[in-house]
Structure 1
Amino acid sequence: MGRQYLVEDELAERIYRFLLDFAAKRDISLMYSPLRHVAKCALNGLFVHSDINLIIIDTDLPLAKKCFVLAHELGHYVLHRRYMNPIWAKAYWSKDCRSWRMKKEAEADRFAGLLLDSAKRSVQSETGRGFSESY
């Protein structure tokens, strides 16, 4: 393994800690589960809004992917939690609402990109190192 990958791994860990801190400040619990095996679909993460706010992340993902998935699920928390209720959840997973669901996923993806950019800048300023685009 080259030095560049060691630096990127260290930075990815710092970015993940940044995201964990972001979640903790908002009282969001995290859980890790083999989602792809349990859900039997390509589910990498899930935000659950009820009495507690919970993000579940697939345990089998590499760290860089976990960073994106956590940022994406935080996007659902920030952008969509006020709308989440049992009726919303039923509509969300309905085949009839596919375009609406895709819009919500795209919104969470855009939020994740912005949050990851902020995390990268924060980590770079702490370390004084550059960061290659691996996210």
Structure 2
Amino acid sequence: MTARLMILNGPNLNLLGIREPEIYGSGTLDDIEELCAETAAKHALEIDFRQSNHEGDLVDWIQDARDGFAALIINPAAYTHTSIALHDALKTVSIPIIEVHISNPKEREAFRHQSYVGLVATHTIAGRGASGYAEAIEIAAKLI
């Protein structure tokens, strides 16, 4: 049976390519999904790629990841800095959790420096653009 990775994307990431391209680049979320599928295929992994602007959806999906998934990759976007709900949901997951950020929050506004997700993540990748997702899949492949 092929191992599955859940890849979750938080608020406003559906606007990649439009929203602040000087920070996030010109690629779209569809481009990132394609990159993830190609990278996962090299390791005989399947992906389940999702995005929501709603915190509760992300919490539900994190809970779903506890059954049938080998690793969880998450770009929580702005919820990184605000969501204790995501933090608490992630604490219930016993698979590797890899936090990804296209930009580097620690090089941005001070309110972005705290990551509630990072407190429970196995690894954090930040500031590497879309390629950070591919790196997260490479790490997940090694961990599983």
Q: Is the shorter-chain TM-score for this pair beyond 0.5, marking a shared fold?
A: no
Structure (1 or 2) with the greater helix fraction: 1
| Larger radius of gyration between Structure 1 and Structure 2 | 1
